[in-house]
Amino acid sequence: MSPTSLDKSKIRFLLLEGLHPSALQVLQAAGYSNIESLSGALPQAELIERLADVHFIGIRSRTQLNAEVLAHAPKLVAIGCFCIGTNQVDLQAAQEHGIAVFNAPYSNTRSVAELVLAEAILLLRGVPEKNAVAHRGGWLKSADNAYEIRGKTLGIVGYGSIGTQLSVLAEGLGMNVLFHDVVAKLPLGNARQAANLNELLAASDIVTLHVPELPSTQWMIGAPEIAAMKPGAILINASRGTVVQIEPLADALRAKKLLGAAVDVFPVEPRSNQDEFVSPLRGLDNVILTPHIGGSTLEAQANIGLEVADKLVKYSDNGTTTSSVNFPEVALPAQRGKHRILHVHRNVPGVMSEINRVFSDNQINVAAQYLQTNERIGYVVIDIDAASSALALEKLAQIPATLRCRVLF
């Protein structure tokens, strides 16, 4: 019996944006060798060119996999976002092409929370400004506008994985925690959910943002929201660059309405370390500017490499889609002596009858079948006799609603 899965040496992986070597190690240990790793993101035209024969791509937050790029990726089976955010991928277009998307939803939450707390402490003491002045030969020894973090109110916008982790750490430092979320959330410790964003803005000494990039979070902090903050408050954004309007923020910092700010993410970010960083916030001494490194610790990156690479291997090797962000979740144990068909299809009436007709019309015995659907697509894993898999694959590929179809083992 000949193996029907594509030979592992022919399965191409393209890893972008300097993924941690742990990702490569997981892929190699699973038998994959056709792997190209690049340190930066690619411009759209080059991305499209390279995706022509790539089966799996690994990216971080910079690589834009929009509908046009995905339309030019005929062999792409899955995308690994080696980070939390998946806003850089058009998840709906990926679904429509039958491409599964995976991420690492928890691996860098601690790293972000630690950075935010460190920034809050430094900004409350005026350290960024005092440091900048000292570098220019000045000496700003003064207790003016320098405060302890103990007893201050931290306002967390978005009480998810990062927001809750931060909440616990902040209370450990003696802070009061207020949070705002669109969903009613169980407060941890003594934290309290604010009635709305304005209540949080008016009551917080430090406002920190931890919402995903969504249409509803775009530019959610602009001039009116900054005006609603306490005079002398601090704003921290380590979420996404589209959440805060930069010009009103720069104005408020210049006018000393805000004591300081820490910004890790920007509406436009350089594609690589070789490109220039351009921002109206440059040159403001009371602002900590960091190059999108909230999740960039070796611990987080190593864990992300292991987690996402493992998800790609499991999907490639046996079709498991557990914790995919855009695919129905299916996990079936492998069966000895059987071949496995993975069929992704548009979720339209009658499609399962057509699929099952392939087996009944061709007298193919089905040993196991597992279907999961969401609004748009269905994903069915079918184990059948090895001798029939080539015929089944050919017939299933002809069903008009088929998006992707492959056979394993």
Ligand X SMILES: O=C(O)[C@H](O)COP(=O)(O)O
User: Rule CB under 6 A: is residue 167 a binding residue for ligand X?
Assistant: no
Nearest approach in angstroms of CB 176 to ligand NAD is 19
Among 292, 338, 345, 406, binds ligand X (CB under 6 A): 292
Task: Tell me if 215 sits within 8 A of 87, measured CB to CB.
Answer: no
Nearest approach in angstroms of CB 212 to ligand NAD is 3
| Alpha carbon distance 184, 361 (integer Å) | 52
Catalytic-role residue among 96, 171, 269, 354: 269
| Alpha carbon distance 70, 75 (integer Å) | 10
Q: Is 292 a catalytic residue?
A: yes
Catalytic-role residue among 292, 343, 404, 406: 292
Residue with the CB atom nearest ligand NAD in the bound state: 160
Nearest approach in angstroms of CB 263 to ligand NAD is 10
Q: Which is nearer to ligand X, 188 or 325 (CB)?
A: 325
State the binding partner of 60 from ligand NAD, ligand X, none, CB within 5 to 8 A by kind: ligand X
Task: Tell me if 58 sits within 8 A of 308, measured CB to CB.
Answer: yes
User: DSSP letter at 319?
Assistant: -
| Alpha carbon distance 250, 27 (integer Å) | 45
Nearest approach in angstroms of CB 286 to ligand X is 24
Q: Which residues bind ligand NAD (CB under 6 A)?
A: 84-85, 108-109, 112, 157-163, 180-183, 210-214, 216-217, 238-240, 264-265, 292, 294-295
Catalytic-role residue among 210, 240, 340, 343: 240
Tokens of 237: 């954004």
Q: Which is nearer to ligand X, 296 or 324 (CB)?
A: 296
Number of residues counted as binding ligand X (CB under 6 A): 11
Q: Which is nearer to ligand NAD, 160 or 267 (CB)?
A: 160
189: left (phi over 0), alpha (psi -120 to 50) or beta: left
User: DSSP letter at 55?
Assistant: S
Residues in Cβ contact with 404 at an 8 Å cutoff, skipping those fewer than 6 apart? 77, 97, 98, 99, 342, 343, 344
Q: Which is nearer to ligand X, 63 or 388 (CB)?
A: 63
Q: Which is nearer to ligand NAD, 208 or 389 (CB)?
A: 208
Q: Is 269 a catalytic residue?
A: yes
| Alpha carbon distance 34, 22 (integer Å) | 16
Nearest approach in angstroms of CB 374 to ligand X is 23
State the binding partner of 248 from ligand NAD, ligand X, none, CB within 5 to 8 A by kind: none
State the binding partner of 216 from ligand X, ligand NAD, none, CB within 5 to 8 A by kind: ligand NAD
Nearest approach in angstroms of CB 104 to ligand NAD is 9
3-state secondary structure 294-315: CCCCHHHHHHHHHHHHHHHHHH
> Which long-range contacts link 173-182 to residues 24+ away (Cβ below 8 Å)?
173/117, 173/149, 174/149, 174/150, 175/149, 175/150, 175/151, 176/151, 176/152, 177/153, 178/153, 178/154, 178/203, 178/204, 179/155, 180/155, 180/156, 181/157, 182/216
Tokens of 193: 């959910």
Site string for ligand X, 72-91 (x = CB under 6 A): -----------xxx------
Instruction: Indicate if the alpha-carbon torsion angle 64, 70, 72, 73 is positive or negative.
Output: positive
User: Rule CB under 6 A: is residue 12 a binding residue for ligand X?
Assistant: no
| Alpha carbon distance 294, 302 (integer Å) | 15
Site string for ligand X, 30-69 (x = CB under 6 A): ------------------------------xxx-------
> How would you classify the pairing of strands 56-59 and 377-385?
unpaired
The residues that are catalytic are 240, 269, 292
Q: Which residues bind ligand X (CB under 6 A)?
A: 60-62, 83-85, 108, 292, 294-296
